[in-house]
Amino acid sequence: MKYLSLMVVIPLIGALVTAFVPKHKPRTAKIVALVVSLAVLALTIAAAFAFDAGGERLQLGESYPWIPQWGLRFSFAVDGIALVLIGLSALLVPLVILSSWKDADDDGTGGRRNVPTFFALILALEATMIGVFAASDVLLFYIFFEVMLVPMYFLIGSYGGARRQYAAVKFFLYSLVGGMLMLAAVIGLWVTAKNGLGHATFDWNEIVALAQGGGIPGDLQKWLFLGFFAAFAIKAPFFPFHTWLPDAGGAAPAGAAALLVGVLDKVGTFGILRYCLPMFPEASKYFAPMAIALSLIGILYGALLAVGQTDLKRLVAYTSISHFGFIGIGIFAFSSQAATGSVLYMVNHGLATGLLFIVVGFLVQRRGSQSIADFGGAGKALPLLSGVFFVAGMASLALPGTSPFVSEFLVLIGTFAVNKTVAILAALGMVLAAAYILWMYQRTMQGTLNPKLADVAPMKKDLSLREKVVVAPLVVLIIALGVYPKPLLDVIEPAVQSTMVDIGVSDPAPTAATGAEK
């Protein structure tokens, strides 16, 4: 079964179909989009069963010729890391579609919006998200990486909140800077590979084999690494390339923001693991201190700024910058324990922040404002919503028992074994996390009821059935994976091990990872 290509093609066709649903039949468009995304989820589950965790590094491979002159092929294959991230995307998209069910209906000022286009854009985004993780051809990866910008740009620009134009353009330009630098590096890599291998190819396996055999000279490695890293660091985003994220996350509609921060940003950290480390091992080691420093600054700076935010969505966006610092440290600590933790964190962060954005979306839709000051004491009227909000918040600050805890813990102990100072400084981020999450929760849900809320009727409606269906799977997964992360770890670990071998790190299998199930 050609799982991967189907998982790219089906949402793409779904997007086209949805886009051509007449404007006055928004319901049809929504249902088509939901069905398509559920079909993709079913396919993903089937693919996960077809994946052999103990098998080869890249599995479910497919390859079709595209532009033979350049050696470009439609090549898809996944390792454990890509598989879990595809799973995350396939899970989040139907939930986001369901959670955004009414978001596109009007723009809050009575203006009409094109509902079918909104859902078509989400499906198009899903196709590119799965494609970017599934590609095993460097140029194909780049193509998905760039095309991904277009649907997200329109989601933010056409359906976002205040300052959406500014946010959309900023998002696009920042990503494009990174993308173009990566393009230069891809070209350099391609020319080097062509001269080294004797034929034009973008095949990931061939290029990694060449790189591992020392086929990319040291100086060139550094430049190419920087090209790729720039793109990934902007995407992730790492300090100091992060300024687009609060704007984009704050202006995007909640569903799109959940996908933006939950999945799109993971492309950056995924790219570092999949492309930077195996293809440029020496350069990766050379630049690791810089990357760790940036990550560390990101953890603390993102957390501090999160504490100071007055806007719910921007606050969540800043927490992500802090969390991405953890992921970055885990990757560049070069221990398989920390790297495993990082990958696990990518998934868990997607679940936790995805849930947080979705719940914030529910709140914002009810209140008609993103400003924290417009809430206050809302919890009493909304017991269920505030409960889910609390769970999402706890997951975000990595409370033991929620899934992000396991990953953050793995990153920290893995890093501690390598560099104590970094681990200790990073741990400060966990303290700040408690501050920004608890304070946010307190200001919105607890205390006396904000008098301004008294007249807002929707603020008295607790979660509807649709909303319950959206949050239930995420809450269950966050807790289940917090208690029993083994299924994910089993899939992730072999891929991480191979990556560590690529950069010449061979530490013993992480004992804490297998023993951390408590």
Q: Is 184 in the site for another protein (CB under 8 A)?
A: yes
Q: Is 147 in the site for another protein (CB under 8 A)?
A: yes
Residue from 9, 38, 39, 180 touching another protein (CB under 8 A): that is 180
Q: Which residues pair with 306 in a beta bridge?
A: none
Q: How far is the CB of 184 from another protein (least distance, A)?
A: 5
Residue from 57, 164, 274, 323 touching another protein (CB under 8 A): that is 164
Residue from 2, 70, 431, 466 touching another protein (CB under 8 A): that is 70
Structure tokens belonging to residue 452: 């301004």
Shorter beta-carbon distance to another protein: residue 229 or 334: 229
Q: How many residues bind another protein (CB under 8 A)?
A: 31
Q: Is 176 in the site for another protein (CB under 8 A)?
A: yes
Residue from 151, 157, 246, 404 touching another protein (CB under 8 A): that is 157
CB 78 within 8 A of CB 22: no
Nearest-angstrom CA–CA distance, 305 and 78 = 36
Structure tokens belonging to residue 444: 């919105």
Task: List CB contacts of 302: < 8 A, sequence separation 6 or more.
Answer: 239, 242, 318, 319, 320, 321, 322, 323, 324, 325
CB 305 within 8 A of CB 476: no
Nearest-angstrom CA–CA distance, 235 and 257 = 14
Q: Is 64 in the site for another protein (CB under 8 A)?
A: no
- Tell me how far apart the terminal alpha carbons of the chain are, to the nearest angstrom: 38
Nearest-angstrom CA–CA distance, 207 and 209 = 5
Pairing of strands 59-67, 72-78: antiparallel
- The structure tokens 């293809």 sit at 279
CB 263 within 8 A of CB 85: yes
Q: Which residues pair with 75 in a beta bridge?
A: 63
Q: Is 17 in the site for another protein (CB under 8 A)?
A: no
Q: How far is the CB of 401 from another protein (least distance, A)?
A: 43
Residue from 76, 101, 190, 362 touching another protein (CB under 8 A): that is 190
Q: Is 149 in the site for another protein (CB under 8 A)?
A: yes
Structure tokens belonging to residue 163: 């300052």
Q: Is 183 in the site for another protein (CB under 8 A)?
A: yes
Shorter beta-carbon distance to another protein: residue 157 or 510: 157
Q: Which residue stretch of 38-46, 145-153, 317-325, 358-366 sits at the interface with another protein (rule: CB under 8 A)?
A: 145-153
Residue from 75, 100, 136, 158 touching another protein (CB under 8 A): that is 158
Q: How far is the CB of 176 from another protein (least distance, A)?
A: 5
Residue from 38, 181, 372, 483 touching another protein (CB under 8 A): that is 181
CB 228 within 8 A of CB 284: no
Q: Which residue stretch of 27-35, 62-70, 263-271, 488-496 sits at the interface with another protein (rule: CB under 8 A)?
A: 62-70
Residue from 86, 91, 95, 143 touching another protein (CB under 8 A): that is 143
CB 386 within 8 A of CB 379: yes
**Main-chain dihedrals φ then ψ at residue 163, nearest 5 degrees:** 55, 30
Q: Is 137 in the site for another protein (CB under 8 A)?
A: no
Residue from 29, 122, 130, 168 touching another protein (CB under 8 A): that is 168
Q: Is 69 in the site for another protein (CB under 8 A)?
A: yes
Q: How far is the CB of 463 from another protein (least distance, A)?
A: 32
Q: How far is the CB of 78 from another protein (least distance, A)?
A: 21
Shorter beta-carbon distance to another protein: residue 149 or 329: 149
Q: Is 68 in the site for another protein (CB under 8 A)?
A: yes
Structure tokens belonging to residue 496: 């991480």
Burial group, residue 93, by CB count within 10 angstroms (0-12, 13-18, 19+): buried
Structure tokens belonging to residue 291: 């990357």
Residue from 17, 38, 177, 449 touching another protein (CB under 8 A): that is 177
Q: Is 427 in the site for another protein (CB under 8 A)?
A: no
Q: Is 197 in the site for another protein (CB under 8 A)?
A: no
CB 186 within 8 A of CB 263: no
Burial group, residue 53, by CB count within 10 angstroms (0-12, 13-18, 19+): middle
- The structure tokens 């966990």 sit at 430
Shorter beta-carbon distance to another protein: residue 186 or 394: 186
**By three-state DSSP, how is residue 34 classified?**
helix
| Interacting residues with another protein (CB under 8 A) | 67-70, 139, 142-143, 146-147, 149-150, 154, 157-158, 164-165, 168-169, 172-173, 176-177, 180-181, 183-184, 187-188, 190-191, 194
